[in-house]
Amino acid sequence: MNNSSSSKTEDKIFRSVAFAAAALSAAAVFLIILFLTWPALKALLEVPVAELWHTRWNPAGYTSQSWGIIPFVAGSLWVTLIALALAVPVALLASVFSTQFVPEKLRSMTDFIFGTLAGIPSVIMGFLALTVVGPLIAKVFGLNSGLTVLNGGIILSIMIMPTMVSTLADAFEKIDPIYAEGALALGATKWQAALTVLYRFVRPAFFASILLSFGRAIGETMAVIMAIGNVALIPRSPLQPGETLTGVLAIEMAETVVGSLHYNVLFLIGLLLLISTLIVNYLSELITQRTRVKVQ
Partner 1 sequence: MALKIEATNVSAYFGDKQVLYDINLGINEAAVTAIIGPSGCGKTTFLRTLNRLNDLSPNFKMVGRITLDGEDIYAMNPVDLRRRVGMVFQKPNPFPMSIFDNVAYGLRLRQIKDREFIRSKVEHALRSAGLWDEVSNRLNHSAFELSGGQQQRLCIARAIAVDPEVLLMDEPTSALDPAATARIEELILSLKEEYTIVLVTHNMYQAARVSDYTAFFLNGYLAEYDMTDNIFTKPRDERTQRYVTGRFG
Partner 2 sequence: MNRISERLWILFSAVAYSIAVLFVIWVVVYLFSLSKNVISLSFIFSRPTLGMTEGGIVTPLIGSLYLALWVAVISAPIGVLAGVYLAEFAPDNGVTRLLRSTIRTLSGVPAIVYGLFGLAFFVRALNMGLSLLASALTLSIMNLPVIITTTEEAVRLVPTAQKEGAISLGASSWRVWRDISFRYSISGMLSGIFLALSRALGETAPILLTGVVFYQPSLTLDPRRTFMALPYHIFILATQHTNRTKVLPIAAGAGFILLMLVLAVRVLGYIYKRRVQQWL
> Segment 172-201, which members bind partner 1 (CB under 8 A)?
176, 178-179, 181-189, 192, 196-197, 200-201
Q: CB nearer to partner 2: give 94 or 202.
A: 94
Q: CB nearer to partner 1: give 103 or 142.
A: 103
What does 85 interact with, of partner 2, partner 1, none (CB < 5 to 8 A by kind)? none
Q: Please, which of residues 1-20 interact with partner 1 by CB under 8 A?
A: 1, 3-4, 7
Q: Please, which of residues 179-238 interact with partner 2 by CB under 8 A?
A: 189, 191-192, 212, 215-216, 218-222, 225-226
**41 binds partner 2, rule: CB under 8 A:** no
Q: CB nearer to partner 1: give 119 or 187.
A: 187
Q: Please, which of residues 96-135 interact with partner 1 by CB under 8 A?
A: 103
220 and 156 in contact (C-beta within 8 Å)?
A: yes
Q: Please, which of residues 92-151 interact with partner 2 by CB under 8 A?
A: 93-94, 96-98, 101-102, 110, 112-117, 119-124, 126-128, 130-132
What does 187 interact with, of partner 1, partner 2, none (CB < 5 to 8 A by kind)? partner 1
Q: CB nearer to partner 2: give 61 or 196.
A: 196
What does 255 interact with, of partner 2, partner 1, none (CB < 5 to 8 A by kind)? none
Give least dist CB 197 to partner 2, A: 14
